[in-house]
Structure 1
């Protein structure tokens, strides 16, 4: 990471889950001033936003949550509809029913508007093409395309950072360990589709992915 970035500000798209919270601490290490933004879009568990807020408060990071309830009216999925059971992609399907269509595009667009109004050119998001569960808006090609589009649409030189893009869950855990926040990420973030902080329910797709990565991390690096 260039030492010149230590003189720059950055905006973190922060949900309160493992990946985005790891990116928060990555940003704290590498940038001068960090702000964070979250989105309330009718997700199953607003508790994740509370996790994010507490961690930001403890690290003197400003955290604002925007109301994105409209997204829940536009798409039907298991993350915003409690009457739909979360399921992995079925045979013959490319994406699981937890896909929220257009979510990252919408969130990053609103984050970019917020960033410009606060004179911030750097944005970080925790998307990963290595562990993207079939979500098309987590791919590197999408992020690069959107970065160009945002620059053109607002005549502003944004840089979207994706430090997890080529990391699987094992190496994402290693990054949190390298940043000195392994226990914080392990015990105080929420990625469980059933709303249980930390290790979660242990049976939903998100918990299984997280647990496998942590087990691999301990075997490989400890």
Structure 2
């Protein structure tokens, strides 16, 4: 993680959640130019779309050196995909385990679609790397978050574009406590506060109450994971 990248610029898949916000800071600390891309895929709650803008603005204001590296933001409308890949994130369904053993929050093929579209943008914008917040440690069982999936996509996209493209996943082997620790390592208390208050992870889109770990309903799987990671890190056991 300490080695310098071979590419001087990167495109970050940026949802506005804790993981991608942490990855934005990670990328800005490594690359000379970082652009972001978000996807409007018909998600029920558009809170995260505003969170994306808030996180970008807050990081640029707090870290002038990062501000000079932060490039354009792109938003891609793929609502049609969200309609066919129906889940509890895109339709009025209960958040629970489905018969296939996956949570109903799983959006089939989401990362595969995101990476494919992002690769076209990266190709056009001249980025040799893409960065994503996929994580196999705290991943709720989503199969498209596994590093094996990302490796396969990296090979496929490089072949399909006839150019080498790297997919960086700095959180792949970190749990949420370690992600909070990385946030502090990258930007101290200031960055922790930005991600705590500005990013959004709650599946229910709830920003009515600010908890120690950030905004959220406090009961959905995303909130529980984020809260547990915060508590573990703050206890000193997750460093």
TM over 0.5: yes
TM-score, L = length of structure 2 = 0.87
* Residue 3 (structure 2) aligns with: 2
What CA RMSD, in Å, does the superposition of the two structures yield over aligned residues? Answer: 1.6
SS of 2:118's partner is helix
Structure 2: where are the runs of 5+ without partners?
61-66, 208-213
Shift of 1:162: 0.3
Cα distance in 1 for partners of 2:194, 2:41 equals: 25
* Residue 17 (structure 2) aligns with: 17
Q: Using a 3 Å threshold, how does the CA distance of structure 1 residues 169 and 145 change in structure 2: closer, same or farther?
A: same
Structure 1: where are the runs of 5+ without partners?
none
* Residue 86 (structure 2) aligns with: 76
SS of 2:138's partner is coil
* Residue 198 (structure 2) aligns with: 188
CA contact 1:193–1:204 (8 Å) conserved in 2: yes
Question: Which stretches of structure 1, 4 residues or more, deviate above 4 A after TM superposition?
Answer: none
TM-score, L = length of structure 1 = 0.93
Q: Deviation string for 1:119-177 (max 9, x for gaps)?
A: 10110000000011010000010000100000001101100000000001110111111
Cα distance in 2 for partners of 1:193, 1:111 equals: 23
Cα distance in 1 for partners of 2:203, 2:176 equals: 17
Within 5 Å, give how 1:7-86 maps onto structure 2: 8-58=8-58, 59=60, 60=67, 61=70, 62-81=72-91, 83-86=92-95
CA contact 1:23–1:126 (8 Å) conserved in 2: yes
CA contact 1:199–1:211 (8 Å) conserved in 2: no
SS of 2:235's partner is helix
* Residue 204 (structure 1) aligns with: 220
Shift of 1:70: 1.4
Shift of 1:29: 0.4
Which residue, out of 92, 104, 107, partners 1:100? 107
Aligned length in residues: 218
Cα distance in 2 for partners of 1:94, 1:220 equals: 33
